[in-house]
Every structure is written in structure tokens, then in C-alpha cells.
Structure 1
Amino acid sequence: MPAERTTERLKRILVLVPWVIANPDATVEEVCERFAITREELVSDVDVLMMCGLPPFGPGDLIEAFIEEDHVQIGMADYLAKPPRLTRAEAIALLVMGRAVAALPGLEEAASLRSALGKLAGAVSPGEAERAAELADSVAVELGATGDDLLAELRHAVDEHVRLRIDYYSSGRDEMTTRDVDPLLLCASLGYWYLIALDHQSGEERTFRVDRIRGASQTGASFDPPAGFDPSRYIEGPFFTPSPRDLTVTLELDPAAAWIREVVPFENEKELPGGRYRIELRTPHFAWLVRLLLSAGEAASVVEPPELQEAVREAAARALARYER
């Protein structure tokens, strides 16, 4: 089972503490049932709480947390006695962005989102809600260039487990392919719609950018979603997941190419003297990376593999030859 994410655990602890303070007679079993955790996870949370507190973190500044006679005891934590709440600024920011997102075409959750925004608007003053509405009108959220009909077709295939045949342009390989896919999830990330699907051409779970799907048609076949598919992996975790067959690449970046760290999903990073970085990433092919490195010029260099070094040299030579004509 994958390790629990730190953010998820922190959210739980921030809610668990005020609940235990408000319910001092609750047993360990009741706390575990309330927060859907095991006894071992609760004990671990209590151990973490004992190391938390306020500056300067002396003995009198730390939270008292322990389990005694099958009850959780928490003290010295009055500042956490109430669940965390949004500030007015945070609430207004959510209203602005939420209304902009709710206006997106093809958003299946739009009705639920508008309902939640209505409740949030009721928690701020009428003037603040009106100001948020004005700001939302000036904010535009666009997710690639995707038609509503295609989104509807893909969403239907996901919901009804319908196998599709898609014509897909691969930017990395600079080629058009036709392949059968089992659509598993349609979601938005990094400014684009993406289809997560089992690709019958590779036999693996793949991510397809929807604005690069040139056509989609039903094959007449249906499928059963794989038992191990976890949508939260794409919604809560890193969006792109490397394949075991991917190639490992190591790059060194000068300060002028540090922007690459913001646009490339890398696995390891090492800071070097002079504001330089060495990053390690994995990719199924080099074509997109060659274009990226050419745009960075001499500020980015390939440490390994040699095949990528050669590909960059050849691409640079071709570009220079075209320029000199």
C-alpha cells in the first residue's frame, strides 16, 4: 500500500485535534471509526502531535498528547480547539476562481460546483460576494482547444466503459497514430483536458491530451475497468507517471535554464555551485526533449545518455544548416 501523503495526514490531524478536544470521552475505537484510520495510524498521529507546539518550542510550549486507558488525551492546544477556517481573502479567492472554472464548457461537475459556491457566498458579506462576482467576470479559464462534442464523446465512453478508436497526434514523436483505447478517466490538469486510458497499442495505461485527439469513434466493444485503477493518483498525486520502459535522462542547467525545472516533471534534483542544477527525469522518447534543449541553448546540457547528446547535436546542426541557406 502506498505511503500516506503528508498533506493528507496534516489535514486529518488539523481536524482530529479539535474533535478530540470537544469529545474528551471518546475511545480509541471511536476516534479511529470517526476518521477512518487504524489504531496504528492514530498512535502515529499522537506521536507527531507530541512534537508540535508554538515557538520557542520549550516543554511548556508543546502539545500534550497521549493515549491512556483507551482514551486519547490532548492538552495545551487551545489554539487548535476549533477546526481551521477560511480567511475572508481565501474565501473571496475561491469564489472568483470557482466561478471562472464553473463556466468551463464540458465540466460535468459544474452544477455541484455552483451549489458549493452558493454556500460559500453565503458565508461572506453581500458586498464581498458581489465583488467576487465582478472579479470572476474578468477571469477566463481556458483548457486547450477542445470541442464540446469530443468532450461529451469521451465522457460517455468513460462512464459507459465503451472502447474507442482514436486518431492521436504525438507531439513527442511528431507523428499521427490510430489506436484502440479503454477510457478510464477524463480530467483537467496544467491547463489542458486529459484522457487517461488503457492503450491497446502499448498494453499500458497512458495519458492523452484531448486537444491532440483528431477523431474518436466507438469500436462496438465494451470493457471492464482494471481492478487496480486508482483515479486519485491523477487527481491528488503527480499527474504523469513514468513507465518501466522509459529512458532515464540527466541534465545540467545553468541559472538561465532554471525555468526547465518548472515545466519538466523530474524525479531527482541536486543543487550545484553557482546556482546550477542537475536533474534526473524519465521519458519514453527524446523528440520533445530535443526541442526543449534547443530552446534553452548552451544554458542546458545533457549529462546522459549519449544517445540524447547526439540527437541534440544533430538537431542543432540541421537548424544551423537551414539558417545558413
Structure 2
Amino acid sequence: MTSRLSVRLARLLNMVPYLIANPGISAAEAAADLGVTTKQLMSDLNQLWMCGLPGYGPGDLIDLSFSEESIEVTFSAGMDRPLRLTSTEATALLVALRSIVDMPGMVDPSAAYAAIAKLEAAITGAAPAPSVLPGAEPPVEPPEVATVRAALADGRALRLVYYSASRDEVAERVVDPIRIVLVDDNSYLQAWCRQAEGVRLFRFDRIEGATELDEPAAPPRDATDRAAGLDLFQDDPSVPLARLLIRAEHAWVLDQYPMHRVRTNPDGGLEATMRFATLDWMARLLLGFGSGVTALGPPELVAAVRDRSTAALAAYAEAGLTESGI
């Protein structure tokens, strides 16, 4: 069964108890709750007429009375309660929730902790535990994260105060939110940046402030494609490019920084490139790697690293912290 069909089947199986619990609900309200369009909902309702008990005659099939104004279930064919999770399914869901609850922006923490408590109770058979430890404050997400999630839900533009690690600066951006994504164990707001005129990813833990604007978000149509802007390390020819030599035992830096591998040398060393915005920031970064990473270019970066290294050694010597004195 394809994933699309399995999703629809799960929705159909749970739709009857949902409609029984909400008699007379309008098609628009039900579609919003179930996460589908009104057209899809009406198609599902027509499909339900074909579902029921073996025999498939009068009194066996689900019976409904529905229009866009009101939906009523007149015969449920025994499907009065939602499907229940198996212990394996509940455990998998619990693990997934715990893995994202501390990632800013992914979920509402208070709702996630409440869901975790209910799942744990369902698995153990005990009464639901409090969503937080006794005496502890309920989890509250940072205000800027809550603002971003609210603006996304409201379809509003945002003004962000954002720290760019590659540029080593804090700047304001006006963006049109698209969605929240998880990339390499970090959560990001995917949005159309009006300043850069392109799709960008804004890491939640680097958003220092957010203001919801009184204007609708209006990203270009092609910008809303799920793959748009998901490459964190897009080449920008306006930003300087560093050429680096990385020793084999420091290959891990490729996983931690926006570097592109160019080649692997016979000794196991790697040559890579990395975009950077300020010479000062890039020089400081490379000095932190010691002899593990060497700047090959551009010349001004090589000179900056050399000058900083010379100054650091001179400061150590002046303080009496030479190799023999440490």
C-alpha cells in the first residue's frame, strides 16, 4: 500500500468516531480539524458509504447524512471509537516526541509534554503523570520562538534580529515564513528573505528577536517548494572563499562547518573550501584548529592567520609562557 493510501485509510478509520463526537459539524470545520481540504473531506465521506461490515447490504454499511453545512453519522457499523495505538507504535511516537521536544520551534513544548505524559500512561497503564516534575515550572518556549510559530500559523511576515555565524554579525531581516524544518539535528525557519531576495534558513537558536508584522507573508510561488533553500551552504559569489588544508585527524570539521570537500590527498589530508564574510572571524576560527587546519588562500586570509599567530606567540613569550615555561 502506498503511503498516500495508508494515510487516507487511517483518516477514514478515525473519521467516524470523530464525527460522532462532533455531531452537526460543518464540512469546513471538520476539514480544518482533520488537516484536509473541504473537497477531500467530501470525497472521504462518499468513500465511507462503501465501508462497513461483511454482507455489505442495508444495515451493514456506514450511513451518513452530510452537506457542507452539517455532517451526521446515522449508523456507525461499530466504528464508534478511534483506533488505539499498539505498544510498539506508542513507544515509537514517544521516542519521536522526546527527540524533538527540546528543539526550538518544532512543537509547542507544553502540548508535547502533555502528549508524552498521556502516551506514557497508555503504555504503562498507569494514571497520566504530570507533564512536568512537581514544583517545576511548566516548559515555556522563548518569546521569539513563540512569535515565529505564531506568525507562521497566522500567515504573517516577520522582522527578525538574527546572528549570522558566517558573517559574525547581528542584523535585522524582514522575511516571509514558509515552514519549520529539521536539518542535521537543528531546527530552522525556512523563509523568503526580502533582503537577500531568496529562500534562507534561520536557525532558531540564533534568532535573537522576532516581531510579527501586520502584513501577510507573500513568498514567491517557487520559493515554497520543499527543497528550496534547504542547502545550508549555498555558494554566494559575493562572499569570499577560503581554501583550506585539513589534516586527516581533523576531518570531523567537515561535519561541523559549512565546508565543501575538494579532494583527498595521498596522506589522508583533505582540501576544502568555505565561504566567509569577515576576515577577522575566519582567521579566529582557523587559529582555534591549531595545526589541524591550514589556510591556503586567499592571500589576505593566509596573512591574517600568520600575523595573528605571530602576535599570539609574542604575547606568550612576553608573559613567560614559552614551551619550556608552561
Category of TM-score, reference length = shorter chain = 0.5 to 0.7
Paired with 1:91 and 1:319, the residues of 2 have a C-alpha distance of 56
1:171 pairs, out of 165, 168, 175, with 165
Change (3 A) 1:198 1:244: farther
Q: Which amino acid aligns with 1:196?
A: Q
Task: Tell me the equivalent position of 1:298.
Answer: 291
Deviations 1:250-281 (A, max 9, x none): 21111232221221233334221222112234
Measured at CA, do residues 98 and 219 of structure 1 come closer, stay the same or move farther in structure 2, by a change above 3 Å? closer
Post-superposition Cα deviations, 1:42-99, rounded to whole Å, max 9, x if no partner, equal: xxxxxxxxxxxxxxxxxxxxxxxxxxxxxxxxxxxxxxxxxxxxxx999967753444
1:151 to 145, 148, 160: 145
The Cα of 1:154 is off from its aligned counterpart by 0.6
Name the aligned partner's letter for residue 291 of structure 1: R
**1:153, distance to aligned residue in structure 2 (A):** 1.0
List runs of 5+ in structure 2 lacking aligned partners.
3-86, 127-131, 133-139, 320-326
Amino acid at match of 1:225: P
1:273 counterpart SS class = coil
- What SS class does the counterpart of residue 233 from structure 1 fall into? coil
For residue 243 of structure 1, report the CA deviation from its aligned partner. 3.0
- Counterpart residue identity of residue 204, structure 2: V
Q: Report the 3-state secondary structure (helix = DSSP H, G, I; strand = E; otherwise coil) of the residue aligned with 1:302.
A: strand
Deviations 1:98-149 (A, max 9, x none): 444357665348989x99xx99xx9xxx79x99xxxxxx9xxxxxxxx9443
Aligned partner of 1:181 among 175, 198, 205: 175
Query: How far did residue 245 of structure 1 move?
Result: 3.0
Shift of 1:230: 4.1
Residue 229 in 1 paired to residue 223 in 2?
Answer: yes
Match of 2:240 in 1: 247
**Helix, strand or coil: the match of 2:106?**
coil
CA offsets per residue over residues 211-254 of structure 1, 9 Å max, x none? 2222222343333221111453279x644433343433321111
What SS class does the counterpart of residue 95 from structure 2 fall into?
Answer: helix
Relative distance call for 1:271 and 1:204 in structure 2 (3 A) is: same
Secondary structure of 1:181's counterpart equals: strand
Distance 1:196 1:240, change over 3 A: farther
Alignment match, 1:107? 106
Query: Which consecutive unaligned segments of at least 5 residues does structure 1 have?
Result: 1-11, 13-87, 131-136, 138-145
Residue from 182, 206, 210 that aligns with 1:212? 206
CA contact (8 A) 2:160 2:210 kept: yes
Q: How does 1:78-157 map to 2 (within 5 A)?
A: 96-102=95-101, 106-108=105-107, 147-157=141-151
Corresponding residue for 1:38? Answer: none
Find 1:263's aligned residue among 231, 256, 262. Answer: 256
CA 104–176 in structure 1, closer or farther in 2 if over 3 Å, else same: closer
Secondary structure class of the residue paired with 1:242: coil
| Equivalent pair of 1:268/1:281 in contact (CA under 8 Å) | no
Q: Deviations over 1:133-171 (max 9, x none)?
A: xxxx9xxxxxxxx94432221122223332222222333
Q: What is the deviation of 1:304? A: 2.5
- State the SS of the aligned residue for 2:264: strand
- The amino acid across from 1:309 in the alignment is V
Partner in structure 2 of residue 47 of structure 1: none
User: Could you say which residue in structure 2 is the equivalent of 1:84?
Assistant: none
Q: 1:303 to 1:92 in 2, by over 3 A?
A: farther
Q: In 2 relative to 1, CA 289–163 (structure 1 residues): closer, same or farther, beyond 3 Å?
A: same
More helix by share: 1
Rounded Cα–Cα distance in structure 1 between residues aligned with 2:311 and 2:198: 34
Q: Which residue of 1 aligns with 2:196?
A: 202
Quick one: percent identity of the two aligned structures? 31
Displacement of 1:283 after TM fit?
Answer: 4.3
**Equivalent residue, structure 2, for 1:276:** 269
The residue type paired with residue 170 of structure 1 is S
The answer to whether 1:162 aligns with 2:156 is: yes
Shift of 1:297: 1.0
Deviation readout 1:189-232 (Å, 9 max, x if unpaired): 34433222233333333322222222222343333221111453
Cα RMSD after superposing both structures: 4.7
> Quick one: distance in 2 between partners of 1:162 and 1:250?
41
TM-score (ref. length: structure 1):
0.53
Instruction: Measure the CA separation in 2 of the matches of 1:204 and 1:285.
Output: 21
